[in-house]
Structure 1
Amino acid sequence: MEFLEIIKAIILGVVEGITEWLPVSSTGHMILVDEFLKLNVSPEFMEMFLVVIQLGAILAVVILYWKKIFPFTFDNKGMHIEKDTFSMWFKIVVACLPAAVVGLLFDDQLNALFYNPTTVAIMLIVFGILFIVVENYNKGKRPTINSLADITYTTAIIIGIWQLIAAVFPGTSRSGATIVGALLIGVSRTVAAEFTFFLAIPVMFGASALKLLKFGFSFTGNELILLVVGLVVAFIVSVIAIKFLMTYIKKHDFKVFGWYRIVLGIIVLAYFYIIK
């Protein structure tokens, strides 16, 4: 295998690790990166690779938030069940249902209809504007939901519907859509981000499993190396990106990501319809 191919896998892992958690659309970035940096692999493997390296990103959430997401504790008296954690997981499942059902039934059709630079660019810009509008609307207001325990099933369903928008329209950003939806209904920035991280665990595990099943498990040696490299890099970079985001939003709002999305959307449109 050429060393250059490993470098490409590393770059893709870096892009995934950063953009999966920051609300800037991993799809928008991957479309641009793929134009200039193509792995020497089959289209089928590439499609699977871009989804499955998300498992590395998910592992970062699992490790960083293990105490908050694992529903069992152990001491000298044995095992104990954390009821609040179990309750949170039931709410996560409820929030994931809309996107899961639509994804299972219409994944191929939605990709064929909407996975294109125009849709991605438009959704980048639309949700960039939404971030700015929502943050301006919320300025001076105190959030009503300040902990994960405060999230009700109704709140979870509403956030899940916003996640469905991201599942249908590439470029929306799953984290971007769910954070916007959460902010609109009074969830604090920190809780919105954490709930979004936890929502990603079943969603991305499910998406990766589907892609692996469609592709099969008959990897060549080179393909396996590229996949492992992408996974490991996505994990390492995700740890850094998550820590950065949680530190950043304690003192700042999401408007900078809104402006970034608008600029990126314009760049995508300009490249595919003017420059290319």
Structure 2
Amino acid sequence: MLLKAAVMGIVEGLTEFLPISSTGHLILAGQLLGMNAHMSEATVKVFDIAIQTGAIFAVILVYWQRLSRTVTHLGSSRDARRFALNVLIGFLPAVVLGLLIGKMVKAHLFTPIIVASAFIVGGLIILWAERRPASAVRVHSVDDMTALDALKVGLVQCVAMIPGTSRSGSTIIGGMLMGLSRQTATDFSFFLGIPTLIGAGAYSLLKEREHLSMADAPMFIVGLVFSFLSAWLCVRWLLKYVATHDFVPFAWYRIGFGLLILVTSYTGVVNWTE
């Protein structure tokens, strides 16, 4: 079981910050590994959310200098305060909308057609975004973002509540369509993910704590560790990748994965309603 937890952690870490939806990949990996045969459905769901915390710790490590500098200069630097405020502004829409309709989304939108459609439509939007002219870019650094820019990205992040959409995909591609450079959109997506994913993980653990026991601790620890390690490698790679490449390969990957969802759902190989 610890080996399966490690595999799930690796899948989470590799897919959380790429524009390809970690949720869809965790469902597929969980089904293929038979996670439900060893844990209750509620525990599996908490595990999937909890290991996101390991991935976000990797982002904190990669951006540690920027984050620590922001915290230590909040009282003396206007730029530090503006950056922190922008992250807060971008974070709030997901909190509000998640509390309002989170249960409804989980109850009604986890269907194969919706998940597959989100993958395919997301891929097509990436192809569209990457065809925009260079003149459409107006923001070249997170320090140049306005509060309105942050709010727009935060609102777009809410689209990721639709299963298969991808939180990072929504924020990165949404930011690009709103005039952010590819690098700026990627950076802000990572920063925005810190409070969003930590908050989601803490809320899930608190809400579902009755389904957990100390016997689950080794599995959760292994998942968190491997999620952290794989995410650390992935984030470092992605930051180098976006400097010289576009997201077109991820678009075609999403389209192919969406078709895979339809095939595996039709044949009954994977239960995509989880």
Shift of 1:30: 1.2
Aligned to 1:238: 231
- In 2, distance between residues paired with 1:114 and 1:8? 27
Unmatched segments (≥5 aa) in structure 1 = none
Report what 1:164 is aligned to: 158
In 1, distance between residues paired with 2:246 and 2:20? 14
Deviations, residues 160-198 of structure 1 (Å, cap 9, x unaligned): 11101112x011000001111111121111111110001
Following the alignment from structure 1 to structure 2, what is the Cα–Cα distance between the partners of residues 208 and 30?
15
> Does 2:86 correspond to 1:91?
yes
**117, 123, 139: which one aligns with 1:145:** 139
Runs of 5+ consecutive residues of structure 2 not aligned to the other structure? 270-274
Shift in Å at residue 216 of structure 1?
Answer: 1.3
What is the match of residue 272 of structure 2? none
Q: Which amino acid aligns with 1:50?
A: D
**1:213-228 correspondence to structure 2 within 5 Å:** 213-216=206-209, 219-228=212-221
Are the aligned partners of 1:72 and 1:81 in contact in 2 as well (CA < 8 Å)? no
Distance change (3 Å), C-alpha of 1:217 and 1:201: farther
For 1:245-275, what per-residue CA distance to the aligned partner results, in whole angstroms no more than 9, with x for missing partners?
Answer: 1111111111111111000011011110146
In the alignment, which of 5, 9, 12 is matched to residue 5 of structure 2?
Answer: 9
Could you tell me which of 37, 42, 51 is aligned with 1:53?
Answer: 51
Q: How many residues align?
A: 266
* C-alpha displacement of 1:83: 3.0
Is 1:18 paired with 2:14? yes
Q: Retained in 2: the 8 A contact 1:23–1:257?
A: yes
Q: CA deviation at 1:72?
A: 3.7
Instruction: Work out which of the residue numbers 154, 176, 187 in structure 1 matches 2:180.
Output: 187
When the two structures are superposed, what TM-score results if normalisation uses the length of structure 1? 0.91
Following TM superposition, by how much is the alpha carbon of 1:137 offset from its aligned partner in structure 2, in angstroms? Answer: 2.1
Matching residue of 1:105: 100
> RMSD value over aligned CA atoms?
1.7
Q: Name the TM-score, length of structure 2 as normaliser.
A: 0.92
Aligned mates of 1:31, 1:101 — CA distance in 2: 26
